[in-house]
Amino acid sequence: MTVTVVGSIAFDRVKTPFGERERMLGGAATHFALAASFFADVRAVGPVGDDFGDAEYEILRTRGTNTDDVEHVEGGKTFFWHGEYHFDLNTRTTHDTQLNVFETFEPKLSQASRDADVLFLANIQPDVQRQVREQCERARFVAMDSMNLWIDIARDSLVRTIETVDALLLNDAELKQLTGEPNLLNAARAVMEMGPRIVVAKQGEYGAAMVTRDGSFFALPAFPVETVVDPTGAGDSFAGGFVGYLAAQDQLDDAHLRRAMAYGTALASYNVEEFGTERVQRLTADEVTARVADLARITHFEDAPIQLRV
């Protein structure tokens, strides 16, 4: 199975209470690809500049991600983000965002990328997401992410993109903002009215919840990590685990969707243990499956009959 992901490939400058990195490989497509490549063949689509070298390609190709459609823009500079996380790592300040080669990005997918079974539209301008969506007619499953910026300045376009996908993965607060519904169930239903049959609310340190059109609700806490070093990319690693797992399955029933949530949660939890891609680069398959098993243990309780007073 092949997954095509379109999204940012970036250099990140990040400071957290545990240290800083002046310039490391980041971007949604990068984090997604590193996670999803545990499960499926991944093809990454996105623009990079002259400053993007062999070292970065090598990281991106960890576990075999295909970079044929990573577009090198001559004379351009790679997308750059500079952010800082504060004491509790739940709030961050963006010091600088340089779109650079993304400013004029028009995705041109190779036939191989167009033919992918599964497509993930990482958080980029919703018009661009839709262009890619239209090129991938054969995808049997399409998922997407977005962010508050597009809800603020391009809501109509965003909704038109949402209409074309099977699953929307969005931060909890953004889901509420998009729909004007403070209640998660109602917000998810409002999204499903637009088209998707699966809505995943990413809740950061509290985990993630999923609502599906058949009325099923499922929620998982985040895996408790001793030291969260850098949350950058956690949501994209989650998406990579979630979408990647589904890409490798024959069916997308409730049991599989729940397991996909677990794999997403596992990948996200490893992502935050170190800076950027550092932990997931050297992550092993055994570590992934072990964490999913741990996650099953720490969320399980055995219901037992009890006599209550009336």
Please report, as ranges, the residues that interact with a second copy according to CB under 8 A: 37-39, 63-64, 87-90, 176, 182-186, 203, 205-207, 209, 216-221, 224-228, 245, 248, 255, 258-259, 261-262, 284-285, 288-289, 292-293, 296, 298-306, 308-310
- Closer to a second copy by Cβ: residue 106 or 286: 286
Cα gap 133→143, rounded to integer Å? 10
Q: Residue 93 or 227: which CB sits closer to a second copy?
A: 227
96 or 301: whose CB is closer to a second copy? 301
From the CA atom positions of the chain, what is the Rg in Å? 19
Span between the terminal Cα atoms of the chain, in Å: 55
Q: Which is nearer to a second copy, 55 or 310 (CB)?
A: 310
CB of 178 to a second copy, least distance (A): 14
Q: C-beta of 261: minimal distance to a second copy in Å?
A: 7
Report d(CA 291, CA 162) in Å as an integer: 31
| Residue in 145, 117, 138 with CA at minimum distance from that of residue 43 | 117
Q: At a CB cut-off of 8 Å and minimum separation 6, what does 126 contact?
A: 146, 150, 154, 157, 158, 160, 161
Residue at 68: amino acid letter: D
Neighbours of 59 (CB within 10 A): 19
User: Min. distance of Cβ 139 from a second copy in angstroms?
Assistant: 21
Q: Which two tokens stand for residue 58?
A: 């090598």
CA dist 271 and 168 (Å) reads: 21
* CB nearer a second copy, residue 148 or residue 227: 227
- Give the three-class secondary structure for 301: coil
Question: Closer to a second copy at the Cβ: 37 or 146?
Answer: 37
Of 57 and 218, which has the nearer Cβ to a second copy? 218
Minimum gap (Å) between residue 72 Cβ and a second copy: 27
Q: How far is the CB of 131 from a second copy (least distance, A)?
A: 30
Smallest gap from residue 166 Cβ to a second copy (A)? 20
Residues 161 and 61: their CA atoms lie apart, in Å, by 28
DSSP code per residue over 63-103: GG-B-TTEEE-TT---EEEEEEE-TTSS-EEEEEEE-GGGG
Q: Which two tokens stand for residue 202?
A: 């990413």
Query: CA torsion sign, 258 to 262 to 263 to 269?
Result: positive
Minimum gap (Å) between residue 297 Cβ and a second copy: 9
